[in-house]
Amino acid sequence: MAPTQLRYLPFLGLIPSTLATVLPRASCSNSITLPGEVPEGASQNVDPNFPGFAFEQASWVPYAQSNSGKPNEFSKNLMNAITCRTGGKPIIRLGGTSADYAKYLPKQKEAAIPRAEDLTKNFPDASYIVQVPLATTNVSETVEWAKAAVQRIGKDKIQAIEVGNEADLYGKLGNSKLGPPEFQGVMTNETYVGNFTKYAEEILKNVELPSGPIFQALDTSAHLSRPDGYIFDKIVNTVAHHYYQTSGGGAPELGPGLMTHSKISSRLDLYKPFIEYLQKSHPTIPFTISEVGNSLNKGHNYDYQAVLGSALWQVDFQLYGLSIGIKRFNWQQIMHAGYDMWLPVESAGTKPKVFSNFYAQPFVADFIGNTSGKTRVVYLPIEGSKDNVVAYAAYVGGSAARVAIVNLNLWDGGNGGERPSTKISFKVPGGVDGVEVVKLSSPKGARASADSITYAGSQWTYESFGKEVKNVRNDTEILEVKEGCVNVEVKNSKTVIIRLKK
């Protein structure tokens, strides 16, 4: 046999293994080992609804409705660009501090702004996580709020009722003026469980709800311990935490603050015992991150929070999170916050626009794919990779379908030098005869804002009204598989999906 024919033989699957061992070794440095079948340590099946949304109660109106009072088509198109990629529906959380500390006045006739719940009809395929207050000591107020919300949104659109926002911070925020007239104050495990149970039971008694467990528990800011007790039985359908990678940060901290994988993985790893506990003891209750953003930067530092580097943080955060069993994410948006994915209307002299962080979402959604929940994700160690280049594999229906490489090394063209890259090579499973590489990047590097970023060559802008504009940049590559091996170079501050083609 001529050597040129030899290299195709392994794919025929006909050669006895004894013969296969005498074949020349492929020139593959195997920086990743990609098992053909789902390896141990892979996630459970990924929920197609994993890329969710969250709007601070007070910002929901402009996200849902245009300045002229019509459904906000720009928001709708952007949300659809994400959810259509997994075949999921948008799960929208309406909540946050403003909802917990607000007062509900059932007799108020003239609303100053449109009622939040009435705008849910602008997104007819969405489901809602509705937060009701726990901060107030008047449980009737919470019951009335829940009743009105469920009636106005529609029982069949309720994903969960979330009782209280970040109760671990009650009495610790240092701003007593925010609190309702009578305010719960500091809670312990016991008093949290006691109050949660009391409020949930009053809602159950007085509000017509969908059948089955319907409450979302915890929604804590950073409280990692696990209050055991009644709340995990019968009434809870989701356990949620909130996450912000940093609490500040400007342009110089972009690398250490957001573009450092070990800081992402070490913080997410703290949730592992909780996730494992739920999977073992309450397997029907998912663990989610119901409010997340890159940084709580009071100065809305767009050079830190709304650049390619922050979008790469968002990619790595989600892929690592999915790999350890986090079920869904609700990406928080507040008008003019630095971590936003888009500004929905013209406001404070700024035209509506798409921010860099949006680009993480079509990327991660495509990596999981439209598989009716048959994708599992695994983190793949890279041999010899010292630091900040990270790999994940997506298995669909049991076999390897895609590999993602996130190169978090910061490059911003600063010294005019060439953009360094990491070479990754790995053996593909039998039957794979080519790969397609799609990229999320900008030629300007980590500090680029959305206007020069593309994913798979596409852009989403206000000018396109949030619809995908294809072929803005033709940087998708088709690579050959040589001797069963594929070689990919991933430049610094760039992330790619390698699709295995059979």
Ligand X SMILES: *[C@@H]1O[C@H](CO)[C@@H](O)[C@H](O)[C@H]1NC(C)=O
Residues forming contacts to ligand X in the complex (CB under 6 A) are 84, 87, 106, 138, 140-141, 144, 184-185, 187-189, 191, 194-195, 198, 225-228, 370, 471, 473-474
Q: Smallest distance, Å, CB 196 to ligand X?
A: 9
139 or 382: whose CB is closer to ligand X? 139
Q: Smallest distance, Å, CB 437 to ligand X?
A: 16
Q: Smallest distance, Å, CB 350 to ligand X?
A: 28
181 or 283: whose CB is closer to ligand X? 181
CB-closest chain residue to ligand X: 194
106 or 299: whose CB is closer to ligand X? 106
Place of tokens 């619809």: 467
Tokens encoding 425: 């090579």
Q: Does residue 426 contact residue 32 with C-beta atoms inside 8 Å?
A: yes
Number of continuous H segments (helices) and E segments (strands) in the chain: 13, 21
Tokens encoding 413: 């063209």
236 or 337: whose CB is closer to ligand X? 236
Determine the 3-state secondary structure of 351 from DSSP. Answer: coil
Q: Does residue 184 contact residue 170 with C-beta atoms inside 8 Å?
A: yes
Alpha carbons within 13 angstroms on the beta-carbon side of residue 122 total 25
> Phi, psi at residue 163, to the nearest 5°?
-95, 100
Q: Does residue 356 contact residue 493 with C-beta atoms inside 8 Å?
A: no
Q: Does residue 103 contact residue 141 with C-beta atoms inside 8 Å?
A: yes
d(CA 12, CA 284): 42
Smallest CA-to-CA distance from 240 within 274, 221, 217 is with 217
199 or 339: whose CB is closer to ligand X? 199
Q: Smallest distance, Å, CB 121 to ligand X?
A: 23
The residue type found at 478 is I
225 or 281: whose CB is closer to ligand X? 225
d(CA 139, CA 145): 10
Smallest CA-to-CA distance from 274 within 286, 292, 260 is with 286
185 or 414: whose CB is closer to ligand X? 185
107 or 386: whose CB is closer to ligand X? 107
Beta strands in 255-354 (DSSP E): 287-295, 329-333, 342-343, 353-354
Q: Smallest distance, Å, CB 227 to ligand X?
A: 5
144 or 316: whose CB is closer to ligand X? 144
Q: Smallest distance, Å, CB 240 to ligand X?
A: 17
Q: Smallest distance, Å, CB 212 to ligand X?
A: 24
Q: Smallest distance, Å, CB 329 to ligand X?
A: 20
* Count of CB atoms situated within 10 Å of the CB of 337: 21
d(CA 483, CA 478): 16
Smallest CA-to-CA distance from 312 within 209, 442, 413, 193 is with 442
Q: Smallest distance, Å, CB 397 to ligand X?
A: 12
Q: Smallest distance, Å, CB 325 to ligand X?
A: 19
Q: Tell me how far the alpha carbon of residue 19 is from its chain's centroid.
A: 46
DSSP, res 366: H
Cα 71-310-346 angle, rounded to 5 deg: 30
21 or 188: whose CB is closer to ligand X? 188
